[in-house]
C-alpha cells in the first residue's frame, strides 16, 4: 500500500490506507485480500482535476485507475470512507473479470458494493422517472458522465440494473454472473446464461420494473405529495391575499376623515363618552 498526500492530509491518508488494506467481501466475488494499491489524496477538486488530466468530472469526489492500481480522492469531500469503498469495488471488479463490462454495470456494481442505498430515494422523487422516462442502458452510459444532477440519477439507475441482474437469477445473487465473467465469458453471453434473457430483453424487463416501482403512488408516498400540498398552500395564500386587497380597497372607499374635525373631537371636554 503506497499513500501519497500533501502534509495537511497525511493523517487522513493513513486512515484511508488502513481501510483499503483490509480483506473485503464483494458482491458476487466473495472475500478478497487487497492487491497492491497506490492511494493519492488530493487536497481539492482542482488538484484532483490536475492530477487526472481532466478525466475526473467536476462534481467527482474520486477516480479509480484500474490499469495502474491507483485511486485518487479529494480530501475536501464528506464520506470519504464510503467513497473509497466505491473506488475499491472498481478495482476488485476489474482485477477479477478479464472481459469488458459496460460502464453502467461497472458503476452500478460499485454503487451497490459501497452500500449507496440512499440513491434509490432520489429516484422516488424524480419526476422524469415517475413519468416513465427511463433511459436505455446505452443512454445510461452517457448520463453517468453528464452533469451532477443527471449523473446522480444515472448512478441510482445503474445500481438498480445490477440488482435486477441478481434478482433475475434463481440464486438471487450476482455470484453465477461473476463466475461466468471471471471465466472469460462475454458480458452479453453471461447475462443470457444466468438470467435466461438476452441483453436487449433484460433492458426491456429492467425498464418496465423501474416504471412499476417508481410510480406516481410511490412518488406521493416518498414526499411528492407534500411538495404538491406546499405548492397548493402557497397558491391559496397568494389568492387569499389578492382577494383581501380588493376587500380592503372597497372598505376604504367613503371613509375619509377630516383631520381637524377628528382632533377637535378629541380635545372637546364637554363631549360625553
Q: What are phi and psi of 31, to 5 degrees?
A: -85, 130
Please, how many CA atoms are within 13 Å of residue 137, restricted to the half-sphere of its CB?
Answer: 23
**From 30-34, 36-40, 168-172, 227-231, the region with the lowest mean pLDDT:** 227-231
Q: CA-to-CA distance for 47 and 61, rounded, in angstroms?
A: 11
Average pLDDT for residues 54-80, to the nearest whole number?
90
pLDDT band at 262 (very low <50, low <70, confident <90, very high): very low
From CA 47, how far away is CA 36, in angstroms rounded? 24
Ramachandran angles phi, psi of 64, nearest 5°? -110, 140
Residue at grid coordinates 492530477: 51
Residue 8 grid cell = 495537511
Tell me the whole-structure pTM to 2 decimals. Answer: 0.76
Q: Compare 225 and 205 and report the one with higher pLDDT.
A: 205
Among residues 137, 94, 131, 85, the alpha carbon closest in space to that of 112 is found at: 85
Summarised one tens digit per residue, pLDDT across range 206-215 is 999 888 877 5
Backbone angles phi, psi at 131, to 5 degrees: -75, -5
- The 3-class SS string of the chain reads CEEEECHHHHHHHHHHHHHHCCCEEECCCEEECCCCCEEEEECCHHHHHHHCCCCCCCCCCEEEEHHHCEEEEECCCCCHHHHHHHHHHHHHHHHHCCCCCCHHHHHHHHHHHCCCCHHHHHHHCCHHHHCCCCCCHHHHHHHCCCCHHHHHHHHHHHHHHHHHHHHCCCCCCCHHHHHHHHCCCCHHHHHHHHHCCCHHHHHHHHHHHHHHHCCHHHHHHHHHHHHHHHHHHHHHHHHHHHHHHHHHHHHHCCCCCCHHHHHHHHHCCCCCC
**Pairing verdict, β 2-5 and 38-42:** parallel
Count CA within 13 A, CB hemisphere, residue 117.
1
Q: What is the structure's pLDDT at 227? A: 41
Q: Give the pLDDT score at 150.
A: 77
pLDDT score for 132: 59
Look at 272 and 103; give whichever has higher pLDDT: 103
Q: Are 49 and 115 in contact (CB under 8 A)?
A: no
pLDDT of residue 225: 42
Q: Is a pLDDT exceeding 90 seen at residue 52?
A: no
Say if residue 184's pLDDT is above 50.
yes
Nearest to 156 by CA among 228, 92, 107, 97: 107
Burial state string for 159-179 with b = 16 or more CB within 10 A and e = fewer than 16: bbbbbbbbebbeeeebbbbbe
Measured CA to CA in angstroms, residue 245 lies from 141, 238, 242, 252 at distances of 54, 11, 5, 11
Low-confidence winner among 133-147, 155-169, 215-229 (lowest mean pLDDT): 215-229
Q: Is the pLDDT of residue 106 over 80?
A: yes
Give pLDDT tens digits for 227-259. 443 444 454 556 656 655 655 655 565 555 455
All three cell numbers of 13: 491518508
Q: Residue 25 pLDDT more than 90?
A: yes
Mean pLDDT of the chain: 82
Amino acid at each position: 500500500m503506497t499513500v501519497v498526500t500533501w502534509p495537511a492530509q497525511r493523517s487522513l491518508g493513513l486512515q484511508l490506507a488502513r481501510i483499503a488494506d483490509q480483506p473485503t467481501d464483494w458482491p458476487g466475488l466473495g472475500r478478497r485480500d487487497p492487491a497492491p494499491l497506490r492511494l493519492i489524496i488530493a487536497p481539492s477538486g482542482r488538484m484532483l482535476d490536475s492530477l487526472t488530466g481532466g478525466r475526473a468530472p467536476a462534481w467527482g469526489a474520486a477516480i479509480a485507475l484500474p490499469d495502474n492500481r491507483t485511486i485518487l480522492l479529494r480530501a475536501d469531500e464528506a464520506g470519504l470512507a464510503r467513497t473509497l469503498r466505491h473506488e475499491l469495488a472498481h478495482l476488485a471488479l476489474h482485477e477479477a473479470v478479464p472481459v469488458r463490462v459496460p460502464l453502467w454495470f461497472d458503476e452500478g456494481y460499485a454503487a451497490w458494493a459501497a452500500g449507496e442505498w440512499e440513491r434509490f430515494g432520489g429516484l422516488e422523487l424524480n419526476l422524469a422517472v415517475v413519468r416513465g422516462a427511463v433511459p436505455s442502458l446505452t443512454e445510461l452510459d452517457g448520463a453517468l458522465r453528464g452533469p451532477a444532477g443527471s449523473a446522480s440519477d444515472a448512478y441510482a439507475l445503474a445500481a438498480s440494473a445490477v440488482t435486477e441482474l441478481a434478482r433475475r437469477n434463481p440464486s438471487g445473487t450476482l455470484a453465477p454472473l461473476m463466475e461466468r465473467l471471471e471465466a472469460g465469458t462475454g458480458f452479453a453471453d453471461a447475462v443470457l446464461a444466468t438470467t435466461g434473457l438476452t441483453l436487449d430483453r433484460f433492458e426491456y424487463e429492467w425498464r418496465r420494473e423501474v416504471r412499476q416501482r417508481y410510480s406516481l403512488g410511490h412518488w406521493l408516498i416518498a414526499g411528492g405529495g407534500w411538495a404538491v400540498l406546499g405548492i397548493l398552500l402557497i397558491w391559496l395564500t397568494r389568492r387569499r391575499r389578492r382577494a383581501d386587497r380588493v376587500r380592503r380597497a372597497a372598505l376604504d372607499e367613503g371613509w375619509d376623515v377630516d383631520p381637524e374635525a377628528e382632533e377637535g373631537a378629541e380635545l372637546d371636554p364637554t363631549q360625553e363618552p
